[in-house]
Amino acid sequence: MDSGSVVIVGGTSGIGRELAVEFAGRGRSVVVTGRDPDRAAAVAREIGGATTGLSVDLAEPDAIGRALAGVGPVRELVIAAIERDVNHIASYDLDRARRLVTLKLVGYPEVVHTLRDRLAADASIVLFGGLAKERPYDGSTTVSTVNGGVSGLVRTLACELAPVRVNAIHPGIIGDSPYWMDKPLEAFVGRTPIGRLVTMREIVEATIFLLECGGMNGTDLFVDGGWLLR
């Protein structure tokens, strides 16, 4: 019998949605969140099974506690939300940077703070960073910054929440994810020793490994096809 549900913050699109489909297919009770309540409810209906949708904006952290009031108990918590900016130091967009920094570096820990007393004894948490922390791309100034911050966050959370396990996953560019679907990717493909970009399926499998393997804790898992070697 399950000790809690699967909560996927940023579960209405991309990797978060793929994970929700996987867990719903296993018969688990799943909560997916996005910014808009109607969209979150519609995505939950599309996913089916025991999936519910709710809205929470991680860039407005004062409201996170209220938004998640009805959630729990929680066995798997995945925080994958992102509201990307395209930013450069030469033309620094303060408003966009402020939203993304707040979302990942204040919003992510505030979600964990809110749910901490509702985590099952065998709960596990995965936070999404990204390879941009090590390998910047054009416009990734804020993305690289916040994904670096996620590494520090998992270390302190793994200590503070023990024995609950907390890990970070850092995908390379995911070729079949909605964000990159309509963008030129040839230059990135040449940087991966496997000769292609990683897939959403591979990121789902790696996330489930981190959630389920009892020995994984406080780590940064790079899933990038070997891109880091170059």
Ligand X SMILES: NC(=O)c1ccc[n+]([C@@H]2O[C@H](COP(=O)([O-])OP(=O)(O)OC[C@H]3O[C@@H](n4cnc5c(N)ncnc54)[C@H](OP(=O)(O)O)[C@@H]3O)[C@@H](O)[C@H]2O)c1
Binding site for ligand X (CB under 6 A): 10-16, 34-36, 39, 56-59, 80-83, 103, 128, 130-131, 171, 173-174, 177-180
- 3-state SS record for the chain: CCCCEEEEECCCCHHHHHHHHHHHHCCCCEEEEECCHHHHHHHHHHHCCCEEEEECCCCCHHHHHHHCCCCCCEEEEEECCCCCCCECHHHCCHHHHHHHHHHHHHHHHHHHHHHHHHEEEEEEEEEECCHHHCCCCCCEHHHHHHHHHHHHHHHHHHHHCCCCEEEEEEECCECCCCCCCCCCCHHHHCCCCCCCCECHHHHHHHHHHHHHCCCCCCCEEEECCCHHHC
- For ligand X, the closer of residues 67 and 123 by Cβ is 67
Least distance CB 163 / ligand X (angstroms)? 25
Residue whose beta carbon is closest to ligand X? 14
- For ligand X, the closer of residues 142 and 162 by Cβ is 142
Least distance CB 200 / ligand X (angstroms)? 8
- For ligand X, the closer of residues 37 and 120 by Cβ is 37
- For ligand X, the closer of residues 120 and 136 by Cβ is 136
Least distance CB 1 / ligand X (angstroms)? 29
Least distance CB 3 / ligand X (angstroms)? 25
Least distance CB 186 / ligand X (angstroms)? 15
Are the CB atoms for 110 and 158 separated by under 8 Å? no
- For ligand X, the closer of residues 144 and 217 by Cβ is 144
